[in-house]
Amino acid sequence: MKVCIYGAGAIGGYVGVQLKRAGVDVSLIARGAHLEAMRKNGLKLLIDDEERVEHIPCSDNPADFGPQDYVIVALKGHQVPSVVDAMQPLLGNDTAVVTAVNGVPYWYYYKHGDQLEGKTLESIDPGAKQWNGLRPERAIGCIVYPATEVIEPGVIKHVYGDKFPLGEPSGEITDRATKLSEAFSAGGMRAPVLPNIRDELWLKLWGNLCFNPISALTHATLDVIASDPGTRAVAKAMMLEAQEIAVQSGVNFRVGVERRIDGAGAVGAHKTSMLQDLERTRAMEIDPLVTVVQEMGRLAGIPTPTIDIVLSLVRQRAQIAGCYN
């Protein structure tokens, strides 16, 4: 099994080390100081009070590795369209593209089964760049639950979690998804193959949609957002708008909105990724987490008044900070 991880940062690097230890033929695409450190010293993973160092082939040029069985895309959602052309040397006729990204992926309406079948989403896939260049039939969905961080070039710290649910857009339990699940399992990660990957996608997106932009606007941590009556009410309103969009297309939410908010609050004084990006003056994941839900609402004819207001505010905040284009 040949697996290339495109974006060997915090999550991609963690997955790369674990798969390598399981005997998978892994390669990594990275750049900058992180790439140079991995070339020189290997990739170090700090996990369970131990150091794991693996020397994994890595490059900033996908042509160095050729066609793969799986390409795991571990970038931020807004970064993916810009690398579609560069990714082409990795893609053979039977290559699976595993979208380990936050938010709504480019393939969402592939094998969807309603009036929006085959629809592309301009907010996350402008000009259908991913749809045409990666192709939806290659896609396997992947929901990322672990928390990891790059603490210095070439060194990744695992914070918590090991779950990466997988699923075909069609809901089928395919051989390719099952083999990848088994490889993850051999590497000490849980990657169950689900027949309803969109349900899992929305369960994570449900929180990211509201907590990320609210935190970027207020600089509050999850426990504060969930416990303050005002911000809790805003989060709930955004979640209920999103839920109506998702349920209309057949998504099932296995927990209620109050429980989902309580679960986020229980994480404690945690800064969301969007707030961290704002503080570090990095591009913020506004479109894959928020704008796309607004777009899906308009396609479905469902109003999103609270989402619209928060989106306008967080876009302006990000633009002023130089964190949104």
Task: Please report the pLDDT score of residue 216 as a whole number.
Answer: 98
Of 63, 103, 47, the closest CA to residue 80 belongs to 103
Average pLDDT over residues 148-176: 96
Q: Is 2 a catalytic residue?
A: no
Residues 70 and 98 sit within 8 Å (Cβ to Cβ): yes
Task: Please report the pLDDT score of residue 315 as a whole number.
Answer: 98
Q: Which residues pair with 35 in a beta bridge?
A: none
Question: Which tens digits make up the pLDDT trace of 277-323?
Answer: 999 999 999 999 999 999 999 999 999 999 999 999 999 999 999 99
Cα 209 to the center of its chain, rounded Å: 13
Average pLDDT over residues 157-178: 96
Residues 6+ apart with CB under 8 A from 76: 101, 102, 283, 285, 288
Average pLDDT over residues 102-111: 96
On the question of pLDDT at 154 being above 90, the answer is yes
Intra-chain end-to-end CA distance of the chain, in Å? 38
| Banded pLDDT at 38 (limits 50, 70, 90) | very high
| Banded pLDDT at 123 (limits 50, 70, 90) | very high
Of 117, 154, 141, 143, the closest CA to residue 16 belongs to 154
User: What predicted TM-score, i.e. pTM, was given to this entire model?
Assistant: 0.95
User: Which residue is associated with the tokens 């990666």?
Assistant: 134
Task: Please report the pLDDT score of residue 30 as a whole number.
Answer: 97
Measured distance CA(162)–CA(257) in Å, rounded = 24
CA dist 60 → 29, 33, 121 (Å): 5, 11, 28
- Side-chain-side CA neighbours of 70 within 13 Å: the count stands at 29
On the question of pLDDT at 75 being above 90, the answer is yes
Measured distance CA(59)–CA(61) in Å, rounded = 5
Task: Please report the pLDDT score of residue 59 as a whole number.
Answer: 98
| Banded pLDDT at 113 (limits 50, 70, 90) | confident
On the question of pLDDT at 325 being above 90, the answer is no
Work out whether strand 139-142 and strand 166-167 pair parallel, antiparallel, or are unpaired. antiparallel
Measured distance CA(164)–CA(162) in Å, rounded = 7
Task: Please report the pLDDT score of residue 229 as a whole number.
Answer: 98
Task: Please report the pLDDT score of residue 66 as a whole number.
Answer: 97
| Banded pLDDT at 249 (limits 50, 70, 90) | confident
Task: Please report the pLDDT score of residue 114 as a whole number.
Answer: 83
Residues 185 and 127 sit within 8 Å (Cβ to Cβ): no
Task: Please report the pLDDT score of residue 28 as a whole number.
Answer: 98
Domains (range + CATH), the chain: 2-195 (3.40.50.720), 198-321 (1.10.1040.10)
Q: From the CB of residue 240, how many other CB atoms can be counted at a distance below 10 Å?
A: 12
Assign residue 250 a region: left if phi > 0, alpha if psi is -120 to 50, beta otherwise? left
Task: Please report the pLDDT score of residue 20 as a whole number.
Answer: 98
Cα 58 to the center of its chain, rounded Å: 22
Which position among 129, 204, 236, 271 bears the catalytic label?
Answer: 204
On the question of pLDDT at 122 being above 90, the answer is yes
pLDDT, mean over the chain: 96
